[in-house]
Amino acid sequence: MITEAPRFPFNPYYTLMPVRYPTAVSTRTNPAFVPFASCTTPNKEMGICAESGACIRSGGRASGTCDLGRVCCVNVVSNTCDDEDRQVVTLDNTYWLSPTTGLSSTTSSCSLTVKLDATLPEQGKAVCQVRLTFVLFTIAQPNAESVCNTDTFDVAGASNKIPTICGDNEGQHMYLNVPSSDTSPTDLQLSFNFGTNSNSIRAWNILISMIPCDSVNLAPLDCLQYFTARTGTVRSFNWRDVAGTRTRQLANQDYSICFKTMPGFTKTLCLTPCTVTSTQMPFSISVASTIAVAGRVPVPAVPTPNQSQLAPLNCNNDYLVIPGGYNSAKPPSVDNMAYDRYCGERLNALPGNVASTTVCTTATPFRLLFRTNGDETTTTPTPDSRTNGNRGFCLTFRNQ
């Protein structure tokens, strides 16, 4: 049950005039949309260029202008989340908004279909990827083992692996790979599933952007996230700058994060833990634990908080892979300075270090791998600390 009105980051239009997006059949009568001609409104919303009349007939809202007298048409779909209200999206740059009246206490799920078909006049060419931008995303938190067992968000129909997520993910994004829609039309299913949690605020606003197969904006294959700017911030799902030791890292994550190689630079990617305003940890991935070494007397697995990983094999529960990572103050040729797996509560290429630092890599194409297992405290032989609770990571990056 929703306990307060959802927050809408754009303007009051969403709360005053919820619209219904037409199905693909009715859209065929309005061919005046310019396929994949994206535009940005004065309020920084994404739209698609269209004739003014076609935008109005489709239920869209004109805001800003395009070439040839066309308008920037903003399209929003908001369903009531019941079995009889099945919405289908066929237009690029469409926002999926949670019900403006809130969710019923008996609502168990809410879904949307994204139809990709090059024969549709509003698409007109092959689509190979869909990007989901989470403008707003708030559902129930995971349990003490980091498992999304109350509320979940899932994607079906993509060819790459899409993890189940929950919690707070405003500002995050996902790239979904699909077969070329001119040879294999695809229906993507986006689904929220809700459990029993009367204290949870459930609200979302997801921008659905279609990427043609010939676009320069395609992400590398199998990259769930793709960053094209020279600088920015990358976070694990559900990381937030909030106080407390409550577990916020999500279990069962296994995906790649990619960065565009910028022309004219030395091809070095550097990552630094974010500056936080609370007591939150910007890097907290599976508290480092001692491990038994072959040929030596077995050592009990003892958690060692507030340190970086003790050795590469120490990161066997949850970890972030930075290929060939090294501390920025040291050249990568220095002995014992190149690591791939990072865990613990400090980002540092030196084992057992108590300070975080900037870690760089020259391994191109730039790609990180984030993996978490299915629990936080019961994994053997090296369970994580029960008291700390893993938080995930927030890193600023610079392609230099």
pLDDT digits 0-9 by tens, 306-360: 888 887 667 888 999 999 999 988 766 655 556 789 999 999 998 888 999 999 9
The answer to whether 160 and 389 are in contact (CB under 8 A) is no
Bond prior to 381 in cis (omega within 30° of 0): yes
Residue 65 has pLDDT above 60, yes or no: yes
Q: How far, in Å, are 20, 258, 265, 319 from residue 373 at the CA level?
A: 40, 21, 36, 9
> Do the Cβ atoms of 394 and 248 come closer than 8 Å?
no
- The predicted-structure confidence for 210-222, as pLDDT tens digits, reads as follows 999 999 999 999 9
Q: Which two tokens stand for residue 227?
A: 């960053």
Secondary structure of 34-71 in HEC code, one letter for each residue: EEEEEEECCCCCEEEEECHHHHHHCCCEEEEECHHHCE
pTM reported for the whole predicted model: 0.87
Residue type, position 303, single letter: P
List of domains in the chain:
13-216 (2.60.120.290), 219-400 (2.60.120.290)
Q: What single-letter DSSP state applies at residue 153?
A: E
For residue 193, the tally of other CB atoms under 10 A from its CB is 17
What Å distances lie between residue 125 and 26, 31, 129, 368, CA to CA? 19, 14, 12, 32
pLDDT tens string 168-205: 999 999 999 999 999 999 999 999 999 987 667 899 99
- In the predicted structure, residue 20 carries a pLDDT above the cut 60: no
* Phi and psi at residue 156, to the nearest 5°: -120, 145
Grade residue 382 by pLDDT with cuts at 50, 70 and 90: low
How far, rounded to the nearest angstrom, does the alpha carbon of residue 25 sit from its chain's CA centroid?
31
Greater pLDDT, 105 or 24: 105
What pLDDT is attached to residue 18? 34
Distance from the Cα of residue 327 to its chain's centroid: 27
pLDDT tens, residue by residue, 94-148: 999 998 777 877 788 999 999 999 999 889 899 999 999 999 999 999 988 899 9
Is-contact 240 348, C-beta < 8 A?
Answer: no
User: pLDDT for 259-289, tens place per residue?
Assistant: 998 777 668 999 999 999 998 999 999 877 6
DSSP letter at 388 equals T
Residue 15 above 50 pLDDT?
no
Tokens of 333: 């040729």
* Two structure tokens written together for 68: 């040839």
List, for residues 25-55, the tens digit of each pLDDT value: 333 433 478 888 999 999 999 999 999 998 9
C-alpha dist (Å) from residue 122 to 23, 30, 117, 242, 249: 11, 8, 10, 43, 39
SS3 25: helix
**Cis-peptide, bond into residue 273, ω within 30° of zero:** no
* Closest by Cα among 302, 305, 342, 343 to 326: 342
Q: Residue 369 in 3-state DSSP? A: strand
Return the pLDDT at 282.
95
State CA 343 to chain mean position distance.
20
